[in-house]
Amino acid sequence: MNLGLTAEQISDITNNAETAYLTSKNLASVYLAGYQYDKALTYYYKSLSIASTSENSVHKAESYLDIGKCLEGKNQKIEAFRNYMTASSLAEKENNNNLLIKCYDRLSSFYNFNKLFNKATRYKLMQRDLVNKKLPVDSVALIWIEYDLQEIDVNSNNNLLNESNMLNVLYFAMRNGNQRLMNFEIALYRTHLIEADKIGLLKDLYQKRIPGEWKKLASRNPGLYYRLKAFFCEDSHQPDSALYYFDKAEQILASNPNTILQSKFYNRFGQFLLRHGDKEKALAKFAKSYQMAEKVSYFEYMVIASGQLESLYAATGDYINAYKYSVLNKVLADSITNLSKQDQILVMEIDHETRQRERLAERDKQETIRRHNLQYTGMTIGILTIFVILIMLGSLKIPAWIIRMLGFFSFIFLFEFIVLLADHKIHEITEGEPWKILLIKIFLIAILLPLHHSIEKKVIAYILNHKLLDINQFPLIIKFRDRVKKVKER
C-alpha cells in the first residue's frame, strides 16, 4: 500500500529515513566512544524506531546489536544478551550472512567476557564458517577470527596457548602490512610471555623476530619501551640498568590517564625492588599501586597491593599499618568472592536464557517440519485423487479434450511436486551456492521435461483407448446412470 504516493515521493521518504537512521547511529557511536552510555542509548533507540518504521530488518538488527553493546557497558548483561539474540533471530530470518557474522562476533565477545568460553568458541567458529562461504574469501577477516580464538584460548586456559599459532598471525600481519592486527597480536603475546615469566622469549621476539617494531616502539610508545628494557636488563642480570629504565618508565606513565595500567606498573616495579632487597622503596611502589587501583575500584590489583603492604609493614615492625592492610585485604577478598558469586549467578542466568532460546528454536523447527509434512501429505493425496479421477473419467463417455486437459494438469502437478521434493535436497547438497543450484536444476529439467511429455502422451493415449475400469462392477454408478436416463426420458 503506497497511499497514492508517486515513485519519486516513496524514494524521497526512503532516503530521508536512511539519512535519519545513519545520523542517529553516528551520534550514538560518538557518545558510546566516550562511554556516555545513557546518551548513546537515546540515539540508538531512536535509530531502532526509524528502522522499525521503515521496516528495514538489517537496520533493526544492527540497532539491537548497538543497544546490546551500550547495555553491556552499563553492566545490564542479561538485557544486552537479549538484544544480541533478537538481532541474531532477525539475521537468521533474513538469511543475511553479513549480518549473522556481526551477530556471532558480538555473541562470542559477550560469552568470552562472561567466562562462558565454550560458547564463545562455538560462536566464533560459526562466524568463521560464514566468512569461509563468502567468495572471494576474506583472508584478513579470517586471521582476525584466529586472533579472537587465541584470546579466548588465553582466557580459558590460565594463560596457556599455542605459540606457533600466534606467530603465524603475527607474520601474516607483517607480510600484509596490517599494523593494527600486528599491534593487537604483539600485545596479546607480550602479556602472555610476561605473565608466564618468559622474558627471554619476549626479548627474542622484539630483537630478532620483529626488530623493526622494536625500533618503532622507542618513539611511538616510550613508556612501554622503557618497561620492556627494564625486564630485559633484569633478565640479563643488570639490576642497576633495569632500575634506571623502571624510573624512566615511571616518569612517562605519571601523565597516563589509564590508572589500571599505572597500578599494574607500580605492582611490577614493587616486585622488582623486592627481588633485589629494597623493601622500603618497594613499600612505596605497592602503596602507589593500591592508590591507583582504589581510584577505579579495581579490586584485583587492590588485593595484590594490600597483601604486599601487609607483609612489608609486618616485616618492618609497623604492626598498626600491617593490621590496617590485613583488614583491608580480607574485606577486598570477601568482595571479590561476592562478585565471583554474582558472576556465577549471571552465568547461570545467561546459560538458562540460552537454553530457553534453543528450546524455543527447536520447537519452532519441529513445528515447521510438522507443518511441511502435513502439506506434503496433502499434496500427495491430492495428486493421487486427480489421477484416480482421470482414470475414472477415461472409463466414461467423456469428450477426449476433457481427458487430455485433465491429464495435462495432472502431470504438471506430479512433476512440479517431484521438483519441489528435489529442491530442498538440492539446497542442502549445494549449501545455497547459486551456480551449483543452477547446474543441478538444468540437469534435472533436461531429464524431467522430455520424460514429462513422453509419459503424459502415452498415459493419456492408453486411458483413451482402454477402459481401465468396468463401470458394470459398480452398482451404485449403474443406478445413478439409470436414474439420469429416466429423468432425461421424462
Length of the chain in terms of residues written: 490
Domain boundaries, the chain: 8-137, 395-489
What pLDDT was estimated at residue 348?
Answer: 66
Query: Average of pLDDT values for 276-299?
Result: 90
- Percent of the chain predicted with pLDDT > 70: 87
What pLDDT was estimated at residue 339?
Answer: 58
- Percent of the chain predicted with pLDDT > 90: 33
Task: Give per-residue pLDDT as tens, 40-61.
Answer: 999 999 999 999 888 888 999 9
Q: Which of 178, 177, 181, 227 is nearest to 206 (CA)?
A: 227
Task: Give per-residue pLDDT as tens, 310-319.
Answer: 999 898 888 8
Whole-number average pLDDT of the chain: 84
Phi and psi based region of residue 335 (left: phi greater than 0; alpha: psi -120 to 50; beta: remaining): alpha
**Beta carbons of 199 and 193 less than 8 angstroms apart:** yes
What pLDDT was estimated at residue 180?
Answer: 92
What pLDDT was estimated at residue 230?
Answer: 95
Query: Average of pLDDT values for 63-84?
Result: 89
Task: Give per-residue pLDDT as tens, 186-229.
Answer: 989 888 888 888 899 999 989 888 888 888 888 888 999 999 99
Nearest-10 Cα torsion for 247, 249, 250, 254: 150
What pLDDT was estimated at residue 3?
Answer: 41
**Beta carbons of 329 and 307 less than 8 angstroms apart:** yes
Task: Give per-residue pLDDT as tens, 158-186.
Answer: 667 777 888 889 889 989 989 999 999 99
And the C-alpha cell for 438?
543452477
Q: Which of 164, 88, 168, 167 is nearest to 130 (CA)?
A: 88
Query: Average of pLDDT values for 57-83?
Result: 89
What pLDDT was estimated at residue 352?
Answer: 60
**Beta carbons of 164 and 146 less than 8 angstroms apart:** no
Alpha-carbon distances, residue 15 vs 8, 19, 77, 103 (angstroms)? 10, 6, 34, 26
Contacts of 285 (CB under 8 A, 6+ apart): 266, 267, 269, 270, 273
- Name the architecture of domain 8-137: Alpha Horseshoe (1.25)
- H helix runs in 198-258, sequence order: 199-204, 211-220, 222-235, 239-253
**Does pLDDT of 395 surpass 60?**
yes
Q: What b/e readout covers 437-459, taking b as 16+ CB neighbours within 10 angstroms?
A: beebeeeeeeebeeebeeebeeb
CA distance 120 to 132: 19
What pLDDT was estimated at residue 469?
Answer: 57
**Does pLDDT of 475 surpass 90?**
no
**Does pLDDT of 13 surpass 70?**
no
Query: Average of pLDDT values for 63-90?
Result: 88
What pLDDT was estimated at residue 10?
Answer: 41
Q: What angle do CA 346, 347, 352 make, to 5 degrees?
A: 95
Task: Report residue 248's pLDDT band, with 50, 70 and 90 as the boundaries.
Answer: very high
**Beta carbons of 134 and 96 less than 8 angstroms apart:** no
